[in-house]
Structure 1
Amino acid sequence: MGGPSLRQAHAHHAIHEGALSGAIAKTEELEELIRTNDPEAARLAADQLLGYWVTRVLSHADAEEEGFYEEMAGNDDERRLDVLRLTRDHDLMRMLAADIASALPSEGPTPEIMRKFQALIELNALHSREEERLLFGERPE
């Protein structure tokens, strides 16, 4: 079912903002390590960034899917369709993370992997905005 923060618009928004800002900061750190040509540090940072996505962002997605979405949708068919779309966003994020996880051990943080990290950021930002709009109404300030 997830904790009470999932059900409070401002708290939920704060979770989204914190996770996204952390992902952006860690991605920028990785990009800087790549620019300074420090492959060992870049490799470690890429592993840590992937771990962040899994433990911070995708675990939040899991918590939302463990009852919160169903609770928010209730018997409203339109909301159920919204929840289905939001769950698809989570699935896309999981696919990107899995692609990164499968390529990273052998290839390190290649340009293709960096595009996937950037795609995760963009997808997550759009998803969070839509989730807040669809499930809570207007976005909290």
Structure 2
Amino acid sequence: MSGPSLKKPDAHSSIHEAALNEAMELRAIYQQCLIDNKKEKALQVAEVIIEHWETRTLKHAESEEEGLYKEMEEEKPELHDLVIELTRDHNIMRRIVEQMKDMLEKQEVDDQFTRLMDGLIVVDLIHNEDEMNKLLPHGKH
């Protein structure tokens, strides 16, 4: 069973918005480290960025998959394809974060890491929009 806030569009949207805003702030800090040629600080920020995506967005994704998506699909089987699409988004985000972790392990801090972050943000924005506009309106009784 999902938490009650996951089915409430406003509360759910707030969760997404807060996590994305934090991700964009961290991206800006990382980019500034690159501009300032501060590799050690960039590595530290990269570590925080990965932790952020894992503990905020991907942990939230996991709870959606285990609760909200299953419940929504049980209530409305016609949402099956949408649930697959939304889960695929999560899997793409997980793969990008894994690539970022590989780069961090190799201490590769460069614009490629920034591009991966940008990709994550874009996928997450589209995903969140689909959840709000396609999935959650079906939860209204």
Name the residue aligned to 2:69. 69
The number of aligned residues is 138
For 1:127 and 1:50, how far apart are their aligned partners in 2?
19
Runs ≥4 in structure 1, deviation > 6 angstroms? Answer: none
> What's the TM-score, normalizing by structure 2?
0.92
C-alpha RMSD of matched pairs (Å): 1.4
> What's the TM-score, normalizing by structure 1?
0.92
Name the residue aligned to 1:37. 37
- Secondary structure (helix, strand or coil) at the match of 1:101 reads helix
Give per-residue Cα distances to partners, 1:87-133, cap 9 Å, x unaligned.
00000000000111112111332221211111000100110001111
Q: Mark the runs of 5 or more structure 1 residues left unpaired by the alignment.
A: none
Equivalent residues of 2:50, 2:101 under 8 A apart: yes
Over the matched positions of the two proteins, sequence identity in percent amounts to 33
Q: Mark the runs of 5 or more structure 2 residues left unpaired by the alignment.
A: none
For 1:40 and 1:2, how far apart are their aligned partners in 2?
40
Deviates more, 1:65-74 or 1:104-113: 104-113
Name the structure, 1 or 2, with higher relative contact order (CA <8 Å, separation 6+): 2
Equivalent residues of 2:27, 2:117 under 8 A apart: yes
The answer on 1:137 being equivalent to 2:137 is yes
